[in-house]
Structure 1
Amino acid sequence: MKLDIILAADALRPPLTGIGRYTFEVARRLTRHEEVARLRYFSMGQWLDDPLAALEKPPSENGSPAAPGPSPRERATLRTRLATSRMAVRVYCALTPMYFGWRLRGNRQSIYHAPNYIVPPFEGRAVSTVHDLSHILYPQFHPRARVDYLNLTLGPSLARTSHVITVSEAVRQEMIERRLMPPDRITAILEAADAAFRPHTPQMLDPAMQALGLRAGKYCLFVGTVEPRKNVERLIQAYELLPQDMRRECPLVIAGGKGWNSEAVHARMAKAQAEGWLRYVSFVDQRWLPALYAGARLMAYPSLYEGFGLPIVEAMASGTPVLTSNTSCMPEVAGGAAKLVNPLDVEDMAQALQECLGNEAWQADARAKGLARAASLSWDRCVEETVAVYRQLA
């Protein structure tokens, strides 16, 4: 039986990070999947022709970055404006479901897939991808308007959802523990790294290293939006405890846009940068991001909570050893290939950073294990398992 799929395309806009990357990788494989007879895109009450076209253009044509952080060209969207106004959230949640449902009418035989949590009123079968439950577990990590939005919409969305996909088993268990959905209606399907993330030769690294002013193998990298959940402040505190010679020889590079409630962290970063042992890069061109990963001596990702933690796998696929947290999904995603630390213990983190940066034997072992772990995860596998969920509903 051929499948008729409607894919919510709200997140298909530059820069492609997190949920946008997930939606993009799923969409472009569904377009050529032999079991999908028709794939249509729906976003904010509108039917879209081909939202992938602009995103697949070379960087010189669309200027979109792949690294976290807003592009200078990125326009404010309805969703970003909602994040700042609790009143706007309430109005949006009251008015849009009826309109979206009206626009989706007449598609009872289709399967609607919401890659970004929320399923609108829909008369056919629906799939929702839930990436994490941070708004429930750690509401302090988000603006109040975003917490309000998910609190108001997730419950009704799940009531309309036939099956939930989570991006890790950890999130699946969180949903089961909170009785948000019966276990047999939740499937964990892990994400993967793009093929662009791979080991680089010195010749491949050189253009990016020159463009970014870095030395290959001589920096420790963090990639992600600078916000409380990412734990960047403790990472900086831990790095400051390293021997001065190690910090100067191998500075900490933080690549990511300015997120919510991050003013104090940016002030600390500015101080460390002035002292010569930290580099902050708010925007990385798409051309240089894979080399930025591959050129790092270590990827440090001590986040407090993740649904998946894509930078962990992107670093491993690049042949870069990884240090990450021993909490939420991160041990599951790392699969035994990373150094795990208590993200709340600055001294524990500092000791682990020193060992990871200075131990050549550990580096070689972590590199080999990381490449094997990343190779076991692929977007093709992710989409095959997603199509299996569609098939079950059809």
Structure 2
Amino acid sequence: MKVGLGSTVWSSGVAKGHLDGIGIYTQSLSQAFTSRSDVRIRPYTFGVDTPPLGCGVPVSLAPHFPKFVLKNALLGADREVDQRLANEVDIFHAPDHHIPRLKNVAMVASVMDLIPQIHPEWVTLKLRRLKNWLFNQSVGWADQVITISEYSKRDIVRLLGIAEERVHVTPLGVNGHYFARQSDVVRHEVLHKHGLEPSFFLFVGTLQPRKNLAAVLAAHAQLPETLRKQHPLVVVGRNGWRVETLVEELRALEARGEGKWLEYLPQEEVIALLQSAAALVFMSLFEGFGLPAIEAFAARCPVICSNTTSLPEVVGDAALQADPQEPKAIAQAMLEVLDDPLAARQRVDEGERRARDYTWDACASRTLEVYRLAVQGR
């Protein structure tokens, strides 16, 4: 099967030197398909001057996606793009919300979540209503829709009116590097580089309202002072938006000797921190899946996470769960991790077993099944 893979977000991440969740998803799917003889990937993008990717140099379908999709919504499929894809691929997969309207090519779209529709306060105000309308329209053009959790599937069916049988759950995978135990020497070097000792609390994620760092900071502040010093809060995350107060709090945390803000670290250093932490504290207010929790499981790091949205479905009994709106409950979970190491170890064992069920090969196999449904439907 010849698959046209939308690579706009992946390409943008490569150009910037940092992949986000959708970029990692697209890249990982492409890599998983390379080992299969029945799939050939050809990358396409919206934009110009895109860098080479692992599956080749993307072909640009249009220079600006917003203008392109608005034209699609008002006038129908672009005949030139539609004919080109019909000549070159059997199916087009839009994994990154850049969904073209096609007439003669089977189409699959991946929708991770509906955060802009459910929580518009977390996204930019500029043309928000138009963007949401265009996105909702474009998802409807897909023959089949992929999402990453049963929770997200329910939202898609309920809010977009997509028939349940057209929406398929294909959970994400974990990079195998997270399972590989780093040596004591390597971990010590990473910790020494950042002035850390083992058994800190770890937060990983871009600084933005959805990731809920404010509640994690408030919870850590409720711990006794001696514990805050012994188990500081280490934050790994780029500066995002609406975080002016958070930045001030992080600087104060560092000044008190109760934490560190490391804006960006390469993957191997993040793994070293996960393998050295008392727990990952992942109190996001909304997740379509919550891959950082599974990555922590793979690294044998205890996890404290939210008891809302998709996270209970994904983590099961392997994580301590708490109300993300209640710093007191988060602080109690932190204390429980420290006070009951036997229970923490049991959850770590369960977490590792659970993480091994989430592989990119499995994700690719399920995705291929959806491709076949889309092609058969045509």
Shared fold (TM-score greater than 0.5)?
yes
1:20 equivalent to 2:1? Answer no
Distance apart, 1:49 and its partner CA: 8.5
Distance apart, 1:53 and its partner CA: 6.9
Q: 1:146 to 1:196 in 2, by over 3 A?
A: farther
Match of 2:241 in 1: 260
How do 1:1-394 residues align onto structure 2 when only pairs under 5 Å count? 3-12=1-10, 13=13, 14-36=17-39, 38-44=40-46, 50-52=52-54, 93-94=69-70, 102-108=80-86, 110-123=90-103, 124-145=105-126, 147-148=128-129, 150-198=131-179, 199-216=181-198, 218-394=199-375
Deviations 1:225-262 (A, max 9, x none): 01000110011001100011111001000101011211
Q: Distance in 1 between matches of 2:173 and 2:113?
A: 16
Q: Tell me the secondary structure at the aligned position of residue 187 of structure 1.
A: strand
Q: Distance in 2 between matches of 1:332 and 1:233?
A: 24
Distance apart, 1:102 and its partner CA: 2.9
Q: Distance in 1 between matches of 2:352 and 2:267?
A: 22
Q: 1:157 to 1:249 in 2, by over 3 A?
A: same
Q: TM-score, normalised by structure 2?
A: 0.88
Distance apart, 1:266 and its partner CA: 1.1
Q: 1:51 to 1:185 in 2, by over 3 A?
A: same
Match of 2:60 in 1: none
Distance apart, 1:100 and its partner CA: 6.6
Q: 1:165 to 1:288 in 2, by over 3 A?
A: same
Q: Tell me the secondary structure at the aligned position of residue 292 of structure 1.
A: helix
Task: Give unmatched runs, 5+ long, in structure 2.
Answer: 58-62
Deviations 1:143-174 (A, max 9, x none): 22384464032122122100110011110011
Q: Distance in 1 between matches of 2:81 and 2:314?
A: 38
Q: 1:195 to 1:116 in 2, by over 3 A?
A: same
Aligned partner letter, 2:124: P
Distance apart, 1:104 and its partner CA: 4.3
Distance apart, 1:269 and its partner CA: 1.3
| Alignment check: 8 A CA contact 2:42 2:55 kept | no
Q: Tell me the secondary structure at the aligned position of residue 260 of structure 2.
A: strand
| Alignment check: 8 A CA contact 1:41 1:47 kept | no
Q: 1:275 to 1:374 in 2, by over 3 A?
A: same
Q: Tell me the secondary structure at the aligned position of residue 314 of structure 1.
A: helix
Aligned partner letter, 2:349: A
Distance apart, 1:292 and its partner CA: 1.8
Q: Which moved more, 1:218-227 or 1:43-52?
A: 43-52
Q: TM-score, normalised by structure 1?
A: 0.85
Q: Tell me the secondary structure at the aligned position of residue 267 of structure 2.
A: coil
Q: Distance in 2 between matches of 1:149 and 1:283?
A: 33
Q: Tell me the secondary structure at the aligned position of residue 108 of structure 2.
A: strand
Q: 1:160 to 1:47 in 2, by over 3 A?
A: farther
Q: 1:146 to 1:283 in 2, by over 3 A?
A: farther
Q: Which moved more, 1:365-374 or 1:348-357?
A: 348-357
Distance apart, 1:281 and its partner CA: 0.5
| Alignment check: 8 A CA contact 2:8 2:98 kept | no
Aligned partner letter, 2:7: A
- C-alpha RMSD over aligned residues: 2.4
